[in-house]
Structure 1
């Protein structure tokens, strides 16, 4: 229920941003990275930027 409420309160942010912020702020887990597989087979790492105000993307090699 906390997760659903967090997303509802922060609906103006992307799902990726909400997920990463929820993990850090509510579960106290730092440094989580998401990995997205694009339709062309490339991958991108996504994590909070240094100011924790946006999601930064870094291509995987």
Structure 2
């Protein structure tokens, strides 16, 4: 693993959403999968990037 694990603030910043959105997604089993490390949740940056890349592009 070349990068350190991301915390919720880093995931939210990368995806451009609020931290509260990440919490909501987790309760709905949506979004990139995070893993619990003790009492903290951490994300593998590559998993977050892969999840984002797999999302369908929408035309605004």
Q: Shorter-chain TM-score: which interval?
A: under 0.3
TM-score by length of 1: 0.25
Higher strand proportion, which one? 1
TM-score by length of 2: 0.25
Larger Rg: 1
Query: Which one scores higher on RCO, CA 8 angstroms, separation ≥ 6?
Result: 2
Higher helix proportion, which one? 2
